[in-house]
Structure 1
């Protein structure tokens, strides 16, 4: 599948994606939640093992399942602009982070393609915070983000770096680019 109206926001954990997603939603852009946070919330709510500290393989497979469902379910509105908080290629970086086999994640990334332009958020120490789901240090989150950018490039995507400006300016930058590209 190749959905040119599907755009990805990706990058370092804590780089500001969630804040921008909320602002884009206020601009009437349909945004799709990040699979990792959904899986973490659901698994912790029921004390299930599908979290990285208990079973990273199960966690990553649950994220893949959720990501493909989100991709397919949103294909109903094929012409509508969709913005995803992370895409299936991000799961390759998660698999690598947990020292897991990456073949199924590469296969999924090839099977489910997004718009060739990907919005990338570099690590930004000044806004980085940890929370119940985000436990990495800033350095780990930044390294993860850099690896994510490499993976998207390997897969043939064009990286559009989101500037480090106010959240409102970042959202306006993405909004303008989305409408230029769609």
Structure 2
């Protein structure tokens, strides 16, 4: 059984907050590649930003996700990932038509159950790293809802409950 658990889904759906709760509870967590990349690119004046060069951003997210998996190998117990290689491969495939899900994501599996945060308009917000609107976030969510099962994952939708209740739900489901 794979101990790498993906928390993915709609932007602004509470994923990062949930990961922080897992960290508080002593579990290993891996921050979202996209946010780290955006911060670095903004600081360095780079162009691998989703709103400037989407394919370059997705390729960079793939590289970061692969590196994150390597680092996570040495962590004991459950390791919770804020998004995954599948998210980045899905984005690249959507933008370019490259078969990234099969060639890049399938050979690097995560736990069979993937938890998706559904759209949650009441908590959605933008910030310097998340500039897209809720409509774009919902479109991405719907794409991931289709792409994860294509790779054989069981999608579990996170309930819209408190952070502690969400964490309990995930741990109970695992």
TM bracket (short chain): over 0.9
Per the alignment, residue 89 of structure 1 pairs with: 86
Of 79-88 and 4-13, deviating more is 79-88
Q: Which aligned pairs between 1:125-164 and structure 2 lie closer than 5 A?
A: 125-164=121-160
Cα shift readout 1:107-139 (whole Å, capped 9, x = no counterpart): 111110011111111101111101111112112
Aligned with residue 27 of structure 1, among 25, 28, 34: 25
Runs of 4+ in 1 over 4 A off after TM superposition: none
How far did residue 37 of structure 1 move? 0.5
3-state SS of paired residue (1:159): strand
Asked if residue 120 in structure 1 is aligned to residue 116 in structure 2, the reply is yes
Of 48-57 and 128-137, deviating more is 48-57
- Asked whether the equivalents of residues 62 and 89 of structure 2 are also in contact (C-alpha less than 8 Å), the reply is no
How far did residue 55 of structure 1 move? 2.0
Structure 1 gap ranges (5+): none
Aligned with residue 170 of structure 2, among 164, 169, 174: 174
TM-score (norm 1): 0.89
Q: Which aligned pairs between 1:30-69 and structure 2 lie closer than 5 A?
A: 30-69=28-67
How far did residue 164 of structure 1 move? 0.8
How far did residue 43 of structure 1 move? 0.9
How far did residue 168 of structure 1 move? 2.0
The number of residues matched between the two structures is 174
How far did residue 104 of structure 1 move? 3.2
How far did residue 50 of structure 1 move? 1.2
3-state SS of paired residue (2:156): strand
The 2-side partners of 1:116 and 1:173 are apart by: 16
Structure 2 gap ranges (5+): none
Per the alignment, residue 106 of structure 2 pairs with: 110
3-state SS of paired residue (1:134): coil
How far did residue 105 of structure 1 move? 4.3
The 2-side partners of 1:18 and 1:66 are apart by: 17
The 2-side partners of 1:153 and 1:68 are apart by: 20
How far did residue 93 of structure 1 move? 3.1
Q: CA RMSD in A?
A: 1.5
Cα shift readout 1:23-53 (whole Å, capped 9, x = no counterpart): 1111111110111011111111111111123
